[in-house]
A and B are shown apart, each in its own frame.
Chain A
């Protein structure tokens, strides 16, 4: 029983991985990747490593996914900035903006 469950999970893992490979849009690839991470964290539980399950759920599905989305978001913003700038050329260089 548990072996069957394991095999189903592994199969869906492979399907998700192939899915990320074949979809065109990066957005879709990222969503599938997050699903992949969740499945992976269930597999960690089945492999008797709950430490890994917690970490993978928080890091793989959570933080990495958010970072991917933010990257896409930033890219859109850059596009908008470019349009914005080509429309009107004003504003000098911005303030120096570093953390310290």
Chain B
């Protein structure tokens, strides 16, 4: 059997008892569960080890020490950082060391070499693609961790109080505004996503906007409806496909690059929507990942599952 958590939700009431000096918590409270009295009887056997006052005094003392140490640390830290900043090259200086052959090449030859007019998109998806690959996996890691923590495993369900929530869809103003707003937001997101190599934006910005749109949708029309539109399977499938596509596309590019093989994907004419080689599909993949990551964050926080 799996270990039950050592301290139950009932713990807080028991803790209050301990505060008043009635019980001692030096023994593990193994799921007093539905019979708090019986558990208390078991706890009663042990003598209290410390009184509440003595203990809280001790804690207060140690936190005071901690605060003094932390204040000193902060002061030293701030002074050092300000001194360092004072010794950096000037802000807005055109002759700063950061303006070197690297950034010049990104700008001057970036359009030719990557096919992207937006230098930032070209840089993060072509020159420094390994970073960006890692970055999308940061999102993936985070979504898995949130799933681990927020999924309610076998314990009591948490949607007990759903009825008490405000139903936004009944409110005329909210419903009307959102009916107008959500398509516009989604459209804007798609535009940013697809135009990432030509104008400001790209996978991360577009995905975040799309994700925000989906969140508004599921907020107003309810999680039930949203999860009917995007069932958990679909979300998983999309995330899986986009990340796998991203990995494979980039590994093709890395492999050909490192082995000096020809790269067979055409770059197209810079400035057109179908240009930039792999950049646009990659932007779309990243956008899907970001969008569904944000959406799953929301769903996990809202109701504990996708």
Q: Which A residues are within 8 Å of any B CB, using their own CB?
A: 49-51, 53-55, 58-59, 62-63, 66-67, 70-71, 74, 77, 80-82, 84-86, 89, 91, 93-100
Q: Is B200 an interface residue (CB 8 A)?
A: yes
| Residues of chain A within 8 A of B158, CB atoms compared | 74, 77, 81
Q: Is B306 an interface residue (CB 8 A)?
A: yes
Interface residues as binary, B183-209 with A (CB distance below 8 Å gives 1, 0 otherwise):
000000000100000001110110011
Known: A77-B158, A80-B161. A98 touches B305 (CB 8 A): yes
B115 to chain A, nearest CB (A): 18
A55 touching B305, Cβ below 8 Å? no
Report whether over half of chain B's contact residues are helix, strand or loop; otherwise say mixed. helix
B236's nearest neighbour on chain A, judged by CB, is A99
- B interface, size bucket: 35 or more
Known: A67-B298, A99-B232, A99-B305. A54 touches B192 (CB 8 A): yes
B208 touching A94, Cβ below 8 Å? no
- A89–B9 CA distance with the chains assembled, in angstroms: 13
Q: Is B301 an interface residue (CB 8 A)?
A: yes
Question: Would you give 22 A-B contacts (Cβ < 8 Å), ordered by A?
Answer: A51-B118, A51-B200, A51-B202, A53-B200, A54-B209, A55-B204, A62-B212, A63-B212, A63-B297, A63-B298, A70-B302, A74-B158, A81-B158, A82-B9, A89-B34, A93-B154, A93-B156, A94-B155, A94-B156, A95-B157, A97-B157, A99-B151
> Which of B152, B205, B297, B298 makes the CB contact (< 8 A) with A51?
B205
